[in-house]
Structure 1
Amino acid sequence: MDKLPVLFVSDAVVLPGMVVPIELDEAAQAAIDAARAGSESRLLVAPRLGDRYATYGAVATIERVGRFRGGEPAAVLRAVGRAKIGSGVTGPGAALWVEVEPATETTTEHAKELAEEYKRLVVAVLQRREAWPVIDQVNRLTEPSEIADTAGYAPYLDDEAKRELLETPDVEERLEKVIAWAKDHIAESEVSDKIAEDVREGMEKTQREFLLRQQLAAIRKELGEGEPEGSDDYRARVEAADLPEAVREAALREVDKLERGSEQNPETAWIRTWLDTVLELPWGVVTEDSTDVTAAREVLDADHHGLEEVKDRIVEYLAVRARRAERGLQVIGGRGSGAVVLLAGPPGVGKTSLGESVARSLGRKFVRVALGGVRDEAEIRGHRRTYVGALPGRIVRAIKEAGSMNPVVLLDEVDKVGSDYRGDPAAALLEVLDPAQNHTFRDHYLELDLDLSDVLFIATANVVEQIPSALLDRMELVTIDGYTEDDKVAIARDFLLPRQLERAAVTPAEVTVSDDALRELAANYTREAGVRQLERLLAKALRKAATRLATGTEHVEVDLDNLKDLVGRPRFTPESAERTSVPGVATGLAVTGLGGDVLFIEASAADGQTGLNITGQLGDVMKESAQIALSFVRSHAAELGVDPAVLDRSLHVHVPAGAVPKDGPSAGITMVTALTSLATGRPVRSEVGMTGEVSLSGRVLPIGGLKQKLLAAQRAGLTEVFVPQRNEPDLDEVPEDVKQALKINLVSDVRDVVRGALAAATGNATTKSSVAAA
């Protein structure tokens, strides 16, 4: 083994064949001095990467000792071979001496083939850089080991890779590594060159298009032609538009961005779209309201029958605005001056068409916004304009469509607004419908304050309970519960029939419809709160009449005699008498999304384990009502004249139409009556209906929707109803003809209901006595 001074360098890896300059610090100077003094000017140069020392180094000779241009001492070393570092030994001077074992290298035919392949790769890399002198030097190399060690000059290899080469004494293995690295580098270089070429071509194309556009603009200027359509001067348009000051400033800021940017800037397109939207909004356009209260009421009466409460509300709104205008008070805009009305009621009662009549009576523009099924909050507030395909919300689009800042906006089906991962549109409507906030409504797309305080919002809904309480609190509730039979006949005569005669292209002289036929259609062919199905039946009858006229008949009269031939058999017949003919069945009154309806509750008993089975797809509230009703009947069996043993059987309470979900706090007294009827064997009177919740002590609790339930009772042919005493104030809303057609019993104790609802006891009754005190 040889003994050489060692020089550890941390900023480079020296491979055999390389000539490198080394700056001489104290340790390097000691190694150079030791080499020149005792080892034939040879020393070992080894890399030091981090805290680890190499196991191999390069044996180097000192070519020259001098200084760099800056005056720092330096030495030029030539690496002539690699050697394995052994243990440390002592030697002259202050340098570190180690034993070294020169690496033995054998040249094989395979190594020569690998060397030629690597040489071709190196030449290919150098040709890309046009380093022709270096290429000549590489071509003169013949030894595989020398060719492999030229990788020490490769700039694409890091120090770790070069150290790996230094510590690989086998020539073939070393060549395989450098070949793989060279191929990877060439592949990366080709991709980079391709990207650079594409970028350069794109820049050249952009510059060429810019030059051509400038030339085109100069040519148009010389010819006296304007800009093509759609490229108007936005600055002039903004300055000429009647915009609020804050809106003008925001628009001019966007115009500045547009003028500074190029046509290729992706922001240009959405800035233009935003400016177009802002300029198309009717910022300063306001229609003048009609302040003639009498004329407005005439318009409402001409378009709709009944609906006195809604008409009164609109006339009151007009009267207040007229007085404010007379006294010089602010009428247009201003915080909290808007009105938000919620029209709630079953389908077909005229909620949507009433909005059009309100707009006509006021002399305002009318816009309808359908909210049914809307689940995306952006549909109300708008999208952020940086998104592709961004649009303002439906409220802003409605104002734009109306062409004025004070239209009548009908928010249709507000109870059918949903929510999911895209947000809660109902929550977004809170700001729109709050008169104290909507004077500064901010759409996400516009990002500008929009004054909605003078917009008359009219919302419609079928089921008030489905509207979030916070949203319902922002609106003034006006209920439209439905029409009586007389109302339906009047509506059909005055509104529906003329419209359908026109659509069927027949005249009143050719087809006449009797009032008796209209009443029959309203009573036995439809069972609805509104008049939508009634209008469909009228249309069907007129189509049949038109067919007869086309076949030679001169005149068709629609009356009771030929009604079945024209529209078919009656679809509804009174069934209360049939359903309640047996004990255990009671007729209740309920409210659904389609209005009021009758609800039959059946109870039966069978031998078996004591218990209560409840069916009919009932909600939790109605299931609890059944449990409460059974508990009350059992605990007050003596008062009700019921043998307690009769109730200690397997009881079954069923509400027919099991496919329809049913829930709500209004069936308690009906269930008590049905169970008492079952236990006493006395059927419930067929002409009696009832509604009300019951407590464990027998108190009758108030319910909602009384008007709709009484209308349903009249439609079903009932003549007597039991309602809670605490609902007496609600009777003021019930039409007089309904109150005259029904005997309305106000009750506070369920025992009164049982006394009045059950038929008189007969000899076949299963109980020993009648109802307690009766």
Structure 2
Amino acid sequence: MTNDMTQTKNLPVLSLTESVILPGMVVPIELDESSQAAVDAARATSTDDSLGELLLAPRLKDRYAVYGVVATIEQVGRLAGGAPAAVLRAGRRAKIGAGVTGPGAALWVEAELVEDETPSDETRALAKEYKSLVIATLQQRDAWQVINTVEKMTDPATIADSAGWAPYLTTEQKRQLLETPSVHERLELVIEWTKAHLAEMDVAEKIRGDVREGMEKNQREFLLRQQLAAIRKELGEGEPDGAEDFRTRVETADLPEKVREAALREVGRLERASDQSPEAGWIRTWLDTVLEIPWTVKTEDNTDIGNARTVLDADHHGLDDVKDRIVEYLAVRGRRAARGLQVVGGRGSGAVMVLVGPPGVGKTSLGESVARALDRKFIRVALGGVRDEAEIRGHRRTYVGALPGRIVRAITEAGSMNPVVLLDEIDKVGADYRGDPAAALLEVLDPAQNHTFRDHYLDIDLDLSDVLFLATANVLDTIPSALLDRMELITMDGYTEDDKVAIARTHLLPRQLERAALSTDEVTITDAALHEIAADYTREAGVRQLERLLAKALRKVAARLATETGPIEIDEPQLKDLLGRPRFTPETAERTAVPGVATGLAVTGLGGDVLFIEANAVQVTEGGGQLKLTGQLGDVMKESAQIALSYLKAHAAEIGIAPEALQRNIHLHVPAGAVPKDGPSAGVTMVTALTSLALGRNVRADVAMTGEVTLNGRVLPIGGVKQKLLAAQRAGVKTVFIPKRNEPDLDDVPSEVLAALTVIPVSDVAEILAVALEPVAAAAAPVAA
């Protein structure tokens, strides 16, 4: 039935499950039971010469269809397989309305016909653009007959709905076109989709071209290799580095049994692999690496203890702890060899030691001396800044450019399984997303595990138990505790002034004379000059800066000898002309000339150093008694300052401090504000500085102190006593207060340092206050309220 006023029709519905029909399309439809009912109902109600009309609608899973097309039945028959079918011609787009009644078993609905709007100039331009895109896609498929049909289209609505034939559009995209009544919007959609399809086709064509070119190149290389193999065969030449060559090398090499078995397995894989396979290259590289490792090569240790001590003494002044440890190692090694004792459980007699001390004390050069004393090979592995775990354990063989780790490469370079390996700057190993190298070093440096060290690249057990590992570090704090637990700690705290002069005379001066091409007949330097350089021109734990100054003085002497005649003697008066004015002069008297300044002692990455703590009282404000801290102090140091102030407030009467003196706002500052500082050992120094400020009495210029303080005034032990006492001696301090419980640490301090200092162990901070402050008669006026 038709209502011409409302442009609606009552039509039976034929639902399509797997396809979407757009206006203008002519398609055959295989008829199932419901489809047959719709066709029969349309034919039964036909009032003209056609076979009838029905509504084609897509069947959606998530909702009911809103739009469909009015289709005319062109023909009814059967497919080649005998199934019933009908040929339908899709006409106008229609909006599906409410259900209505109708004859037959089909579903009837009211369909509102959709009129296409009159096309604007912009719509016609879009239609022209889309038609050119469609022609471009058809040209790629060589569909020239269809191109003629498309070129004849002029109506924008017909051109937009021709996308129903596009094979590159999905069913969902075609449903979206069916449900878009605006011709302009339909053209915008199909243009966007077609452009994306053309871009994808261009990329696919480029990839196909690259693949085709690569296949042709591989085929050409394969033919050339086959021809080259045939030519070599005719000439009687073998394939270089072939599987047979590797098998011979493995069988004749002196390898441990398990290593030989693993290598032969890889040779078998190489024999089965194609020459063009990337795996063949990986296997060859792996076999070359395994065959280069000195699996059974070991150097014979020189167990002559006297010779070892002579070599160590000749190369380094002092450092008795390290030298004694090496001598002990040789003594045990020699006794085991004399008694014929074998290694038990696969574990050798290697040692793992970490040398901790400030720069310039000879940690790195000591490794070379140890190797020379033992007659072993020496290899240095720099770990500073290493952040990739693969640097230690190696890469997996599956990675492109895979290599074994630094430990395996060091063993290979040394050419023996028992070298001295120096792990330099182990405290500067980092960690990031590539792993934690310090954790990987646990297996390397653990004497209970390193006899079965497994590198990721080799994937074979490597015995490192005979390797003598020496690690160096500037500070202990940055070494993980688990790693430090695997190593034997030996501290190298620095040199006294006499030690520096002896080192300069014995080692540094001869080396710099040689570099400056000078002889002792041309230039000499007095001990007094060396003492002044060590005391006033350098302030370091080691001798690195001392050597630089000697080199500078000798260069200036060499320049003078070009115009003067020698010999030239360098004494104290000449130092200012050669090196400039002294850089370090005693400053404790100047710094402590006012109340509120105390001298403390600290340990940095460069060794021991003096630390001045200054306190001052500022204008009283409402809510006074506040404490302000500056100087880049860490949390521990800030807490020490709070503890010091609380102690003084609680014991003000005992100390003789007027109550109003601590009611002012106090500013506590530690100079060198650009340098971060932290640690508990400045507690007693802060108490002394605040007491000096409150009483108006200066702190003695020749006094320094170190120790952690509690709320009750107890002085707790700290670390780095030796380094701090060396710094005190360099700074010209005469009296040093240390915690009572640190008194046993004085055994490690050189006798000349103890002779130059008066070291007073204390257990309560009141003992320091009783001695460290200037007498009352010489003091300034106390802080006013």
Q: By the TM > 0.5 criterion, same fold? A: yes
From 727, 737, 750, the equivalent of 1:735 is 750
- Determine the structure 1 residue equivalent to 2:69: 56
**One-letter code of the match for 1:277?**
T
Alpha-carbon distance, 1:125 to partner:
7.9
Residue aligned with 2:430, SS: coil
Please state if 1:311 is matched with 2:323: yes
Match of 1:523 among 519, 531, 535: 535
Partner in structure 2 of residue 497 of structure 1 = 509
- What is the match of residue 414 of structure 1? 426
1:706 paired residue among 721, 741, 745:
721
1:629 to 640, 644, 664: 644
CA distance, structure 2, for counterparts of residue 46 and residue 140 of structure 1: 29
The residue number in structure 1 matching 2:571 is 559
Write the distance in 1 (CA, Å) between the matches of 2:266 and 2:577: 69
Residue 332 to residue 19, structure 1, CA distance change in 2 (3 Å): same
CA distance in 1, matches of 2:637, 2:153: 100
Q: Distance in 2 between matches of 1:761 and 1:103?
A: 110
Provide the secondary structure at the position in 2 that maps to 1:59.
strand
Distance in structure 2 (CA, Å) of the matches to 1:606 and 1:97:
96
What is the deviation of 1:344? 1.0
Match of 1:202 in 2: 214
- Code of the aligned partner of 1:346: P
Among candidates 484, 488, 499, match of residue 487 of structure 1: 499
2:550 to 535, 538, 550: 538
Supply the distance in 2 between the matched residues of 1:201 and 1:187 (Cα, whole angstroms): 21
User: What are structure 1's unaligned runs of at least 5 residues?
Assistant: 768-774
| Pairing 1:341–2:349 present | no
Q: Aligned in 2, Cα 1:553/1:227: closer, same or farther, shift over 3 Å?
A: farther
CA offsets 1:689-730 (integer angstroms, 9 cap, x no match):
322222232322212111112222222223332222211111
Q: Secondary structure at the match of 2:417?
A: coil
Query: 1:270-281 to 2 correspondence within 5 Å?
Result: 270-281=282-293
Q: Residue type of the partner of 2:644? A: A
Q: Secondary structure at the match of 1:562?
A: helix
- The match for 2:437 among 395, 405, 425 is 425
- Distance in 2, matches of 1:476 and 1:668, equals 31
| Amino acid corresponding to residue 353 of structure 2 in structure 1 | V
Judged with a 3 Å threshold, the aligned counterparts in structure 2 of structure 1 residues 227 and 491 are, in CA distance, closer, same or farther, namely: same
How far the C-alpha of 1:223 sits from its partner, in A, is 2.0
In the alignment, structure 1 residue 694 sits paired with structure 2 residue 702 = no
Per-residue CA deviations over 1:352-373 (Å, capped at 9, x if unaligned) read 1111111111222212122223
Corresponding position of 2:7 = none
* 8 Å contact kept, 2:15–2:59: no
Q: Alignment partner for residue 670 of structure 1, among 670, 675, 685?
A: 685
Instruction: Kindly indicate whether the alpha-carbon contact (under 8 Å) linking 2:717 and 2:741 is maintained by their aligned counterparts in 1.
Output: yes
Q: In the alignment, which of 414, 418, 437 is matched to residue 402 of structure 1?
A: 414
How far the C-alpha of 1:306 sits from its partner, in A, is 0.9
C-alpha separation in 2, matches of 1:273 and 1:440: 23
Task: Check whether the contact 1:588–1:690 (CA below 8 A) recurs between aligned residues.
Answer: yes
Other structure's SS at 2:422 match: strand
In structure 1, distance between residues paired with 2:654 and 2:128:
116
**Correspondence for 1:376:** 388
Paired residues of 1:336 and 1:436 also in contact (CA < 8 A): no
Partner-residue secondary structure (3-state), 1:465:
coil
**Equivalent residues, number:** 761
Q: CA deviation at 1:562?
A: 2.6
1:716 pairs, out of 728, 731, 735, with: 731
C-alpha spacing 1:75/1:455, structure 2 compared with 1 (3 Å):
same
Q: Does the 8 A contact of 1:332 with 1:454 survive in 2? A: no
Q: Secondary structure at the match of 2:477?
A: helix
TM-score, normalised via structure 2 length:
0.81
TM-score, with normalisation over the residues of structure 1? 0.82
Aligned pairs for 1:13-412 within 5 A: 20=28, 22=30, 28=36, 42=51, 44=53, 47=56, 49-50=58-59, 55-60=68-73, 62=75, 68=80, 72=82, 74=84, 195-227=207-239, 233-252=245-264, 254-255=266-267, 258=270, 260=272, 262=274, 265=277, 267=279, 269-331=281-343, 334-335=346-347, 337-412=349-424
* Matching of residue 598 in structure 1 with residue 607 in structure 2: no
Write the letter of the residue equivalent to 1:60. I
Query: Which amino acid is 1:353 matched to?
Result: S
Cα–Cα, structure 1 residues 465 and 10, in superposed 2: closer, same or farther, change >3 Å? Answer: closer
Unaligned runs of 5+ in 2: 3-9
Deviations 1:610-668, CA, capped at 9 Å, x for gaps = 53444443333333333333433443344434444444445444433333333322233
- In the alignment, residue 58 of structure 2 is paired with which amino acid? L
- 3-state DSSP of counterpart to 2:416: coil
The whole-number CA distance in structure 2 between the counterparts of 1:271 and 1:290 is: 39
C-alpha displacement of 1:342: 1.2
Would you say the 8 A contact 1:18–1:78 is kept in 2?
yes
What is aligned with 2:5?
none
Match of 1:655 among 654, 658, 670: 670
For the residue of structure 2 that corresponds to 1:334, the secondary structure is: coil
**Aligned equivalents of 1:534 and 1:362: distance in 2?**
30
* Deviation digits for residues 734-770 of structure 1 (CA, Å, limit 9, x no counterpart): 1122222222222222232233333444276658xxx
- Opposite residue 69 of structure 2, the aligned amino acid is Y
1:383 Cα deviation after fit: 3.8
Name the CA shift for 1:46/1:160 in 2 (closer, same or farther; >3 Å).
farther
SS of the residue corresponding to residue 343 of structure 1 reads strand
* Contact in 1 for aligned 2:38/2:54 (Cα 8 Å): no
Residue type of the alignment partner of 2:734: T
The change in CA–CA distance for 1:505 and 1:130 in structure 2 (over 3 A counts) is closer
Matched residue of 1:686: which SS? coil
Q: 1:563 to 1:104 in 2, by over 3 A?
A: closer
CA distance in 2, matches of 1:515, 1:174: 99
- Structure 2 CA distance, aligned partners of 1:752 and 1:88? 109
Aligned-residue offset at 1:121: 9.8
Listed one character per residue, the Cα deviations across residues 52-73 of structure 1 (whole Å, up to 9, x for unaligned) are: 67743543355656x855xx55
Residue-by-residue CA offset, 1:484-513 (whole Å, 9 max, x unaligned): 222112111111111111111112222222
CA separation of 1:237 and 1:68: change in aligned 2, threshold 3 A: same
